Structure 1
Amino acid sequence: MPDVAIQSQLHVAGALDWVGMDGIEVPVRFDAGDGDVQRASAQVGAFVNLTRPDRRGIHMSRLYLLVDQYLSTRTVDGAMLESLLRAFLESHKDLADRARISIRFDQLVRRAALRSDNSGWRAYPVSIEASLCADGFRMELGTEVVYSSTCPASAALSRQLIQEQFAKDFDAGKPVDHAAVLAWLGSEKGIVATPHAQRSVARLLVRFVDGAPLNLIGLLDRVEHALGTPVQTAVKREDEQAFALANGSNLMFCEDAARRIQRALDADSGIADFHVRLEHQESLHPHDAVAYTSKGDSAR
């Protein structure tokens, strides 16, 4: 059968950076770091460059079939992806010398409640980007951590209003009755103002050292522990109270959250590089507070 892709098109000749397909639907098998290989529905992008200016196009069906062959049957890890990218280039050895792949899916991770014996599932978005070129194989893992952030400035202003209310309700010239104060603290007057808090997102892009496993759960644990207030799954009253306590003990601007994550990831010898974008989705403003950080330099 005729193949017009191999025909010369000298009037529109030129090499191309990347050619391929995106949004390929395929199942993937992934071990997030706990030994439990889950199967998920993924969207995949598969690309090679086109070095031959005289060739009209690449063989996209070859890329598709290789994606299906590898990802449908083998667990995703660095060795498998490097092998797949080498297969991309072997299938286009007369056309390409660089290959890359992107994989996007959700990974379910079971998370324990803060105080009760319950637990529930969190779906964490996962993106894996891998490339193979003259400089060798490179792979990065991306994910997101959603957490609560309570504003330190708003907390200070709230405390001031509570002090003022206390001064109104209790005469400075009279002895303070312990029972009366305790009852006041448990009433609405004892909390006339509350600091604003908001759902916040840390978007992580991490490159592990060569040969290190794609330990998603280890990464999530490290970041969530550093922040102290990740969103919860199963919540009973004792869990909600513990979450309120965690928020009160972890007041943070987006700059504070960025530095916490930077310190936590810098301390992980298995991480070669990282980039983080933090977004505090303000309840006070219609805009968001945003901070960026990367390995070893919070000023970048």
Structure 2
Amino acid sequence: MNIHAPSPETDPTREDAAKALAVLRRWAGEASLAEIERLDPAVMRLVLGPANSYPDLSREFPEALLVDEAYRATLPDLQNGPASLIRGAAARIQHVGISNFRLPIRFRTRDSGEMLLETSVTGTVSLEADKKGINMSRIMRSFYKRAEEAFSIEVIEAVLDSYKADLDSFDARIQMRLSFPMQMQSLRSGLSGWQYYDIALEVAEQDGVRQKIVHLDYVYSSTCPCSLELSEHARRERGQLATPHSQRSVARISVVLDDDAGVLWFEDLIELCRLAVPTETQVMVKREDEQAFAELNAANPIFVEDAARCFAERLLAEPRIGDFRVVASHQESLHSHDAVSVLTEGSTFAQPSLEPRLFGSLIHGG
């Protein structure tokens, strides 16, 4: 007769597990939390239940903690994780980075001076389809490395090269927005005041081609030529006093800089706009200046189509400018809508679609 001894490999039953758990709980009832933790952290939750198993964490900020390379190496870095962590489509991203990172930057001026101006920075790079993300703080650190330098196109290009290399990207872009002050003389009284111009300076590299672009918002008054003639008709034919309608208007001038033709200063572009459309809004005004401004508007009535072409005429004649775009908005006082126009030269700004809020962004509030 064959006798089979019980096999020690027999799977435990639920009853066996219940007995083992009871033993474990009796032991845990006498043991310290540290002893339970040393046995197995999972035991704490198993024997004490979820409510009592949360570790006793310190609530004091560890001011004395020193971060060395060994500790830093233990920190999780999800953005540099494997492609398996990517969520959504494994697609290339054209722009990823930071927007409205602000810092004071010293800009060079045409008269060899410098101005310290608050600047809003947008910095982006391309991200290949097999990469999870980027360390965005590197973009900011690239700027702070050169924070003491007076910024020029060359310095901005160096910053672009720096964070493009740090982030191992093919394409990159920097845009710096600022409010640039220039003193403006009144028309007749001899007073002067500061006029502020919204300017954006952009350096972009795509597929190995680098472009330098300046955007300027130029604010002017536009008197409607039709309304001017109708007002004169009422005066002449019926002795009726009438005034033509005019309105604050804005042109956003975007130009690609030609590296080989010399420096185009902010002041140069502003003066070019003044030559194209001389009815720039005023800063300091006395009665004689207000009268002069009325005369200046009457001498330069302008439709929005005229404005775009007048700016284009001056831009085409400037050898330091390559491709350009003019976006003009006459914010009508007669109508409850605006009159707008867009004129482009070259391929850089040519596009069949317009940003939904493009013209709305041209409204300059107080």
Measured against the shorter chain, the TM-score band is 0.7 to 0.9
Which residue of structure 1 aligns with residue 343 of structure 2? 293
1:203 matches 2:276: no
Which residue of structure 1 aligns with residue 277 of structure 2? 227
Which residue of structure 2 aligns with residue 49 of structure 1? 126
1:243 matches 2:317: no
Per-residue CA deviation, residues 22-62 of structure 1 (Å, 9 max, x unaligned), is: 11111111124333311111111111222261x32212222
Larger radius of gyration: 2
Q: 1:88 aligns with which of 156, 163, 168?
A: 163
Please say if residues 264 and 320 of structure 2, whose CA atoms lie closer than 8 Å, have aligned partners that are also in contact.
no
Q: Compute the TM-score of the two structures, normalised by the length of structure 1.
A: 0.84
Deviates more, 1:280-289 or 1:38-47: 38-47
Quick one: structure 1 residues 90 and 82, their matched pair in 2 at CA, closer, same or farther if it must change by over 3 Å?
same
Q: Distance in 2 between matches of 1:125 and 1:159?
A: 36
1:157 matches 2:225: no
For 1:269, give the aligned amino acid. Answer: P
Which residue of structure 2 aligns with residue 119 of structure 1? 192
Q: Which runs of 5+ in 1 are unaligned?
A: 167-188
Q: Distance in 1 between matches of 2:277 and 2:303?
A: 11
Q: Distance in 1 between matches of 2:310 and 2:206?
A: 35
Q: Distance in 1 between matches of 2:224 and 2:342?
A: 18
Query: Which structure is richer in relative contact order (CA contacts within 8 A, separation 6 or more)?
Result: 1
Please say if residues 221 and 281 of structure 2, whose CA atoms lie closer than 8 Å, have aligned partners that are also in contact.
yes
Q: Distance in 2 between matches of 1:29 and 1:248?
A: 40
Deviates more, 1:14-23 or 1:106-115: 14-23
Which residue of structure 2 aligns with residue 62 of structure 1? 138
| Percent of paired sites with the same residue | 35
Identify the structure with the greater strand proportion.
1
Q: Which runs of 5+ in 2 are unaligned?
A: 1-71, 352-366
Q: How big is the alpha-carbon RMSD for the aligned residues of Structure 1 and Structure 2?
A: 2.0
Quick one: structure 1 residues 199 and 14, their matched pair in 2 at CA, closer, same or farther if it must change by over 3 Å?
closer
Please say if residues 324 and 346 of structure 2, whose CA atoms lie closer than 8 Å, have aligned partners that are also in contact.
no
Which residue of structure 2 aligns with residue 40 of structure 1? 117
1:271 matches 2:321: yes
Report how far residue 132 of structure 1 moved.
2.5
For 1:195, give the aligned amino acid. Answer: P
Which residue of structure 2 aligns with residue 261 of structure 1? 311
Q: Distance in 1 between matches of 2:85 and 2:187?
A: 66
Q: Distance in 1 between matches of 2:274 and 2:332?
A: 20
Where does structure 1 differ by over 3 angstroms across 4 or more consecutive aligned residues? none
Per-residue CA deviation, residues 211-268 of structure 1 (Å, 9 max, x unaligned), is: 5324111111111122121111111222111111111111111111111111111111
For 1:10, give the aligned amino acid. Answer: S
Q: 2:202 aligns with which of 114, 126, 129?
A: 129
Q: Distance in 2 between matches of 1:117 and 1:255?
A: 33
Q: Compute the TM-score of the two structures, normalised by the length of structure 2.
A: 0.70
For 1:78, give the aligned amino acid. Answer: I
For 1:7, give the aligned amino acid. Answer: G
For 1:38, give the aligned amino acid. Answer: M
Q: Distance in 2 between matches of 1:48 and 1:126?
A: 22
1:7 matches 2:57: no
Q: Distance in 2 between matches of 1:219 and 1:295?
A: 17
